[in-house]
Amino acid sequence: MLRRTIAAIGIAAVLAVTGCASAAPERRDTGIAMFQWTWDAIAAECPTLGEAGVAWVLTSPPQEHVDGASVGTGSDGSEWWWSYQPVSYRVESRLGTRDELAAMTAACDEAGVDVYADAVINHMAGVGSGTGWAGTPFEHYRYPSTGGAAVYDRADFHDCDRTPDDDIDAYREPFVIQHCELEDLADLATESEHVRATIGAYLDDLLSLGVDGFRIDAAKHIDPDDVAAIVAALPEGTPVISEVIRGAGEPVQPEQYTAFSTVWEFGWAERVGAFVHDGSARALADLSPASYGLLEEQARTFIVNHDTERNDATLSYRDGAELSAATAVMLASDDGMPTLYSGYAFSDRDQGPQLEPDGSVSDASCTGEEHPDVVAGDGWADRAWVCQHRWPGTLGLVAWRSRVVDAPLTAVEAHTRDGMLGAAVSYARGSTGLAVVNVSEHRLVLAVPTALPDGMYCDAARPGCVRIGVEDGEAGIALEPWQAVAIDRFTRP
């Protein structure tokens, strides 16, 4: 369901900014997870993303979820995870209405950006009773029909009968992982034809509203055969990403889901972040998907997502310039299809985004006026929109990647200076492009080998046309701490 892979207006805008002498071929494969962004805010951002060569955006869950203030747990309903507790499959949430979602997908389509929805189909809500955001009353294991929404009763849920509360108590057996409850969330019997049909109707409804693809939330907790059956019922070619966190020694692994979907490699994100933090350029130069057991064709890479930034498993916005450098490594590498992340600041892992008086989420703002110095990585007020995808250089690197990604990666090399502190890693794509990332807090001046023809080039990671010279097969590059530089044969002054 990829409706548009190249937007002519986006190509023209990128060429105008970089001062290209000739039109470049373009293939888009970079996405952005826009965590807790409203439909209106995504719609407003899509023209900028399309111009930069972003292929797709991932929304937070669009279905009706628990109104946290209605369940009597002392919650004020502001926590982010209420979005992941479905009450019905009505497309009404605190992120926007059904009509607003349809308007957003149309706006993004016009900009050449596809929309993937976060599909929560492993479970329903995890509280005893309450009311949904759109007014649907519910009880645990009973979710009555409202306005044509799903009907589930006790028979539609697993009863694993392994622990007193039916919760997952250990990750030793596939049965426990995929039939017991994840923190009391009512676990759907996805082997049931009725459950599969109900989920399928929901996904088809989202497709009818212009959604192009899906992230299957908590796919690790659904039997691969069940996910495969649900995916098989979608229109052929619908992009699907299964969320399967790799755990050492665990029986459920990402490879079990790659026959019918792509998967993110969490181990890659953890290692890249650690290597950048430690300035380990040599380790970065030796990265490959095979190092983490993942089939390369089905790999998707990322540096941070909404879970890992809350459990300190990867770098986060608080790491400032280190996160920018790691993002540049991801965009320059050839280890999988990259996913950026854009969220908000928090001091408590449960903290949700800024809300309006009616409880709906406030539209994200990426003007930069209210944001601190991203290089420092601190000073963020709780709930402020961090807009990591707008940090200096990031969208320029996305545009650079779209121009060079089809050129083979011919060399990945670590660079250190004898007798000096500092290290960098370079990515050469033959005579098509070159990227260099400083993974240290020291300024570096390097002569980097390249097959690009001699002459001057514009740095794609900086606005305007900051010139980089190539002479006798070497690019002369000065790098500030954590800075990235990227040039290609289409960015000649």
Residue pointed to by tokens 């955006």: 57
Question: What are residue 362's phi and psi, to 5 degrees?
Answer: -70, 145
- Among 439, 449, 445, 436, which Cα is nearest to 475's? 449
Is 474 annotated in the active site? no
Backbone φ and ψ of 432, nearest 5°: -100, -45
Give the active site residue among 64, 217, 226, 319: 217
Which tokens in the block code for residue 14?
């990128």
Q: Which of 393, 442, 437, 434 is nearest to 415 (CA)?
A: 437
For CA atoms 280, 344, 86, 166, the dihedral sign is: positive
**Token pair of 241 as six digits:** 């990403």
- Cβ neighbors of 424 (< 8 A, separation 6 or more) are 281, 414, 415, 416, 436, 437, 438, 439, 440, 444, 446, 479
**Considering only CA atoms, which of 385, 428, 372, 359 is closest in space to residue 70?**
359
Active site residue 181: no
Write the burial class of residue 348 (CB in 10 Å: 0-12 exposed, 13-18 middle, 19+ buried): exposed
CB atoms within 10 A of CB 491: 28
183 is written with which tokens?
């923190």
Task: Provide the 10 A C-beta neighbour count for residue 273.
Answer: 22
Catalytic residue, chosen from 118, 243, 309, 322, is 243
Strands (DSSP E) contained in 201-346 are 213-216, 240-242, 262-264, 299-302, 337-342
At residue 86, φ and ψ (nearest 5 deg) are: -65, 145
Residues identified as active-site: 217, 243
